[in-house]
Amino acid sequence: MRDKKNRGEWRPPGAPEVPHDTLDILEEPAVLGGPVWLQRVFKPKSPLAILIVLMALGVGTMAYTQGDPRRVIRLDPPWQPGEISRLEARDPRGGLLFTWELSAESRGAQAVLITEQRAAGFHERAVVFADPYNLIPSRTEFERESVQGRVTFLAEYRQDEVTIGANVPQGHEEAAVKLPARPFYDNEQFVMVIRALPLSNRFRGTLRNIVTRAGAQDSITLRVRGRESVSVPAGEFDTWKVQLAGTGQLAWIAVAHPHQLVKYENQTAGTLSELVEYAEGTAGPVED
């Protein structure tokens, strides 16, 4: 039996009506690949950098459905501007690999979702500008500093495609990716979108994911595998265990509001990230 709260009638207070074209109907197969220059840039030699790239490229955010594939589930962003989560990623022996910080801001009528990863000789920052209610992206800014040099790119979402302009050690490059039907999300905001889902036992959804750093799009199925009590440096949390099917990755999302990312495991890369610090947002809600 489908959980009534996942049936799609509810939407956040003040949210506009969602256009009919946001229904989750995957009419075309996923498109994979992308420009060679982006694939080349994001294949660094450093083992640490490889692990971080595997984390980023192996997951995404979702356009989702449960039961009737023509029924969309409304997002309910649980954060306020100013919120910060800090996680630490460790290898199988417990060695610290990098820190991972997630934060949310508000600029005008847009939500701003920020992801940063830091390690010795490595810093990566992605900023996604999105609608504050449905989280569909309008712009992604990315910068990365490593021993391989500095890489930046700007992705701008238009009506039918996202255009990507990148500055890499070899020079300036450009690419364009055709967009699927709405809703879709940028890979760089994936955790925040998962937090905004009405997760429950047996929840199942399928994403439309735009991997701007690789100039590609794909799809992925996300399933709730149960409810677990999890202890991490930030405390003990009652969580939903969420599987990203086919990726070897799992996310534990707090059941209680504001649904923090408590733990994240990438079995392929051999990393386990745990929440070590969380600060609630202090600013008021986003207003038009």
User: Is 19 within the bounds of a domain?
Assistant: no
Mean pLDDT of all residues belonging to the chain: 78
User: Is 210 within the bounds of a domain?
Assistant: yes
Task: Give the confidence band of 71 by pLDDT, cuts at 50, 70, 90.
Answer: low
The share of the chain scoring above pLDDT 70, in percent, equals 73
Residue 23 structure tokens: 């229904």
- In tens, the pLDDT along 20-68 reads 222 232 223 333 233 433 444 444 444 444 444 444 433 333 343 444 4
The total number of structural domains in the chain stands at 1
For residues 8-12, average pLDDT: 30
User: Is 3 within the bounds of a domain?
Assistant: no
pLDDT greater than 60 at residue 225? yes
User: Is 2 within the bounds of a domain?
Assistant: no
**Per mean pLDDT, which range of 49-58, 69-78, 262-271, 272-281 is the poorest?**
49-58
In the prediction, which pLDDT does 46 show?
A: 46
Residue 113 structure tokens: 């979702």
**Per mean pLDDT, which range of 29-38, 53-62, 112-121, 168-177 is the poorest?**
29-38
User: Is 284 within the bounds of a domain?
Assistant: no
User: Is 110 within the bounds of a domain?
Assistant: yes
The most confident of 50-64, 206-220, 257-271, 274-288, by mean pLDDT: 257-271
Query: Between residues 36 and 168, which one has the greater pLDDT?
Result: 168
**Per mean pLDDT, which range of 128-132, 154-158, 190-194, 281-285 is the poorest?**
281-285
User: Is 16 within the bounds of a domain?
Assistant: no
In the prediction, which pLDDT does 236 show?
A: 98
Domain that holds residue 272: 29-279
User: Is 24 within the bounds of a domain?
Assistant: no
pLDDT greater than 70 at residue 175? yes
Query: Between residues 10 and 255, which one has the greater pLDDT?
Result: 255
Taking the model in full, what pTM does it have? Answer: 0.77
In the prediction, which pLDDT does 205 show?
A: 86
In the prediction, which pLDDT does 219 show?
A: 83
